């Protein structure tokens, strides 16, 4: 069974990029230990601080952000860093070849109930010249690597360098990430959906209708039953989609007119969209392909619909602005 370094070599991944991915993997091992110690290490609970998103930071949000930031600044091949927990971009090495965007601990609201959390990361090429926020504002298709580490019953990494999506599992005996699925493939059809139903009354009409039709099951226009799954951590919900298909969405809503979207483009939507596309799925906002979005700022939020290709297409048919009448279904 190949370890991560051997797999990257077999895929002929650029040596510098491989080193960066190994740095991210090594740091995630340390994060996994911090998460597992939980209350024993006094790392649960919230701080008195808010991040740039206006969200109260958990202690582990701050700890894991510092762990990743310190490791990437020391790596020698990272030009700059953008994080959910940082107000501004952070300069690392002026000669670095890459930019790294990350959510250090996705699903941190789950920490205190001992549920799933994870780290999401995106690697972009560093442009020439002075490092600014503009340096990071590249389409998702520019990503040279993307992935996440899921801290669950076992610690797993999903990774793509543009050559499909792979799963690695951390061997607790050797401390190595071992390749456990070489070619992740999302089933094109599904009977599962993931969405925060508590926001239903705030969604746009197309999503309202789409989900209502799923809930109707066999007596509705889809004429078959669907199950709902919701972990409240994007990393967990997307991992399920990669493992057994499904559709995950955090759609546009009008609960807060100033914040119609929940998920961040640069360090959540883009890396997850690349993983999903590389596994044969699709990822959209409902109106445009996520990986084709021109970012406007590093903390930009977007609507997300991703997963099994055929089911995403059905969902998008409800959003077709030229549509009049019943949406097309299979």
Alpha helices by DSSP H, listed for 137-187, are: none
The reply to whether 108 sits in an annotated binding site is yes
Asked whether 6 and 166 are in contact (CB, 8 A), the reply is: no
The reply to whether 65 sits in an annotated binding site is no
The reply to whether 253 sits in an annotated binding site is no
The reply to whether 55 sits in an annotated binding site is no
Cα-based distances in Å from 174 to 10, 20, 171? 21, 21, 6
Q: By C-alpha distance, which of 243, 229, 230, 265 is closest to 186? A: 243
Alpha helices by DSSP H, listed for 245-294, are: 270-278
Q: Compute the distance between CA of residue 292 and CA of residue 270 in angstroms, rounded to an integer.
A: 9
The reply to whether 268 sits in an annotated binding site is yes
What 3-state class would DSSP assign to 327?
coil
Q: Compute the distance between CA of residue 49 and CA of residue 62 in angstroms, rounded to an integer.
A: 10
The reply to whether 255 sits in an annotated binding site is no
User: Which H helix or E strand runs over 194?
Assistant: strand 192-194
The reply to whether 122 sits in an annotated binding site is no
The reply to whether 258 sits in an annotated binding site is no
Handedness of CA 205, 196, 106, 281 (dihedral sign): negative
Feature table: binding site for Mg(2+):
84, 103, 105-106, 268
Feature table: binding site for substrate:
106-109, 196, 262
Feature table: binding site:
84, 103, 105-109, 196, 262, 268
């Amino acid at each position: 069974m190949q370890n991560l370094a051997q797999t990257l070599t077999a895929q002929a991944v650029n040596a510098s990029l491989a080193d960066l991915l190994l740095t991210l993997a090594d740091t995630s091992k340390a994060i996994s230990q911090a998460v597992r110690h939980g209350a024993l290490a006094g790392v649960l609970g919230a701080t008195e601080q808010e991040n740039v998103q206006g969200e109260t930071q958990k202690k582990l949000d701050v700890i894991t952000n510092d762990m990743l930031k310190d490791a990437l600044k020391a790596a020698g091949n990272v030009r700059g860093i953008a994080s959910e927990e940082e107000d501004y971009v952070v300069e690392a090495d002026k000669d670095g070849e890459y930019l790294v965007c990350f959510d250090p601990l996705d699903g941190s609201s789950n920490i205190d109930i001992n549920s799933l959390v994870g780290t999401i990361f995106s690697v972009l090429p560093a442009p020439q010249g002075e490092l600014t926020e503009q340096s990071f504002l590249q389409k998702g298709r520019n990503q040279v690597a993307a992935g996440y580490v899921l801290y669950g019953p076992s610690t797993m990494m999903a990774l793509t360098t543009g050559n499909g999506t792979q799963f690695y599992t951390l061997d607790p005996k050797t401390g190595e990430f071992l390749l456990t699925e070489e070619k992740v493939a999302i089933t094109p059809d599904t009977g599962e959906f993931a969405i925060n139903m508590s926001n239903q009354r705030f969604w746009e009409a197309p999503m309202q209708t789409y989900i209502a039709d799923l809930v109707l099951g066999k007596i509705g226009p889809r004429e078959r039953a669907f199950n709902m799954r919701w972990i409240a951590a994007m990393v967990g919900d997307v991992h399920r989609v990669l493992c057994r298909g499904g559709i995950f969405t955090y759609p546009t809503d009008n609960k807060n007119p100033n914040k119609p979207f929940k998920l961040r483009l640069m360090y959540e939507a883009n890396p997850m969209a690349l993983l999903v596309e590389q596994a044969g799925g699709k990822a959209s906002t409902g109106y445009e392909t996520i990986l084709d979005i021109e970012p406007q700022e590093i903390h930009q939020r977007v609507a997300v619909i991703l997963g099994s290709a055929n089911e995403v297409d059905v969902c998008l048919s409800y959003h077709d602005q030229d549509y009049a009448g019943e949406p097309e279904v299979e």
